[in-house]
Amino acid sequence: MKREIPVNSEGHYTIGGLDSLELAKEFGTPTIVYDVAKIKEQIAKFKAGFEEENVKYHISYASKAFSSLAMYDLVAKSGIGSDVVSGGELYAALKGGMDPQELEFHGNNKSRAELEMAVDSNVGYIIVDNFYEIDLLNEVLTEKNKTADILLRLAPGIHAETHEYISTGQAKSKFGFDLQSGQASEALEKTLANPRFKVLGVHSHIGSQIFATAGFVEAAKKLMDFLSAWKEKYDFTAEVLNLGGGFGIRYTDQDEPLDVKDFVKIIVEAVKEKSKELNYPMPAIWIEPGRSVVGEAGVSLYTVGSRKDVEGVGSFVAVDGGMGDNIRPALYGAEYDAVLAKDPNAPIAQNASIVGKYCESGDILIKDYDFPKTEPGDVIAMLSTGAYGYVMASNYNRNPRPAIVFVEDGKARLVVKRESYEDMIRNEIL
Ligand SMILES: *Cc1c(COP(=O)(O)O)cnc(C)c1O
């Protein structure tokens, strides 16, 4: 299905109703522009899915997909929580105005300093990943004479149909307690026996950019079976079943994501069914969407510079960004669509790879792409770049990281400044 490409009366591509060429002129390029209404709409759809199912729930935005102070502020005001996976994210989330009680702290190798920071700042939930962390967190809590609400991260042994690097729920994953081998039961025993921990339930995150509901349903059922067995064995009833994130988005017109509201409903119904079958009290269902909250809301604006054409071999159209602001194509072959900002409906006139300015042959943003005619100075808008782009940005080749702009109600505001050359040497000592 082709997505709708909005244009204004001049035929220019618009983002949140604003002319993308004007945005490029005002803020420069490369710039990542977010349509805030789209972010809010996704959050509202997730909520609606749960509300319609009439279950207890908690939505936590997986902020590693895209974080900035303005984003945390937006999340806080949307009435949902957020995940953080490092001291740095925790710091930014608090600075951005998140209520610490609404934060979940994830990570497979949280340091003592990070756990201390989480405990000191009264983070709501710590998702405990491994035995080392059980001991470390116990030490930290004992020192501070505090307790923590925790969930146990489990590896349910389910392989989501996605890229190997973004699949996390299979048994051979670095994340979580393995379910099949008995590790998970041992972790439960240990944490239940320790009064410093209040075990709220279990967590699993099976992967990312998942289109099929089957993996989630399978994970939910498997976890419910284990919870039921644990109820018998340990007299433990989970209040929370956290099924993670991973809901797929549309990068190209080939992608057909399910509406997130429907996704939620299918998962909830599977848990309801299982809870009835096992006569297990219906747990609150928690989810942690990242990509699906911000991915399609973001657009990267680039300016075309040089080109190279080799007869019979191919063409390259180079833009002023690339792998430094979006490493996903180079890292795992991610695909995107792009439009010519001044005329998205212009006829296809070339097949060329849209490449960046970084000194790597792999610095290709879109490979062998059918595109309208381009000239130096044209603005290209690469679509659905809102997730895992800026947050993975680097200063490779000492290119500054791009600016970030939020567009809402017909207004644009800069929320992250473009880095300066000076910023890039700030920590250096001569
Ligand atoms: C990355 C991650 C998410 C979010 O995944 P998306 O694909 O961005 O929705 C949620 N939970 C955990 C534990 C994660 O690591």
CA angle (82 as vertex; 46, 174 as ends), nearest 5: 100
CA of 61 to the centre of ligand 1 (A): 9
Total residues found in the chain within this entry: 430
Q: Which atom of ligand 1 is nearest to the CA of 290?
A: 8
Measure the CA–CA gap between 203 and 226, rounded to whole angstroms: 12
- Is the backbone of residue 54 left (phi > 0), alpha (psi -120 to 50) or beta? left
Q: How far is the CA of 410 from the centre of ligand 1 (A)?
A: 31
For 83-90, which contacts have Cβ atoms below 8 Å and span 24 or more sequence positions? Answer: 83/288, 83/290, 84/123, 86/114, 87/111, 87/113, 87/114, 87/117, 89/63, 89/64, 90/114, 90/117, 90/118, 90/121, 90/123
- Report DSSP state, residue 4: P
**Is the CB of residue 336 less than 8 Å from the CB of residue 2?**
no
In 3D, which of 83, 93, 167 has the Cα closest to residue 127? 83
Which element (helix H / strand E) includes 233? helix 214-234
- 14-35+295-424 CATH fold: Lyase, Ornithine Decarboxylase; Chain A, domain 1 (2.40.37)
Q: Is 98 in the pocket of ligand 1 (CB under 6 A)?
A: no
Span from the CA of 391 to the centroid of ligand 1 (angstroms) = 14
Contact between residue 299 and residue 69 where contact means Cβ atoms under 8 Å apart: no
- Establish whether the linkage from the previous residue to 30 is cis, with ω within 30° of 0: yes
Could you tell me the residue ranges of all domains in the chain?
14-35+295-424, 37-292
DSSP string, 66-84: S--HHHHHHHHHTT-EEEE
In Å, how far from its chain's centre is CA 48?
Answer: 20
Q: Counting beta carbons within 10 angstroms of the beta carbon of residue 424, is it exposed (0 to 12), middle (13 to 18) or buried (19 or more)?
A: middle
CATH, domain range 37-292: 3.20.20.10
**Strand ranges (DSSP E) for 194-313?**
197-203, 240-242, 284-287, 298-310
pLDDT tens, the chain, 430 aa long:
678 899 999 999 999 999 999 999 999 999 999 999 999 999 999 999 999 999 999 999 999 999 999 999 999 999 999 999 999 999 999 999 999 999 999 999 999 999 999 999 999 999 999 999 999 999 999 999 999 999 999 998 887 665 555 566 676 789 999 998 999 999 999 999 999 999 999 999 999 999 999 999 999 999 999 999 999 999 999 999 999 999 999 999 999 999 999 999 999 999 999 999 999 999 999 999 999 999 999 999 999 999 999 999 999 999 999 999 999 999 999 999 999 999 999 999 999 999 999 999 999 999 999 999 999 999 999 999 999 999 999 999 999 999 999 999 999 999 999 999 999 999 999 9
User: Would you say 272 and 56 are in contact if contact means Cβ atoms under 8 Å apart?
Assistant: no
Catalytic residue among 359, 373, 394, 425: 359
Q: Is 359 a catalytic residue?
A: yes
Name the residue type at position 382.
M
- Say how far apart CA 206 and CA 219 lie, in whole Å: 8
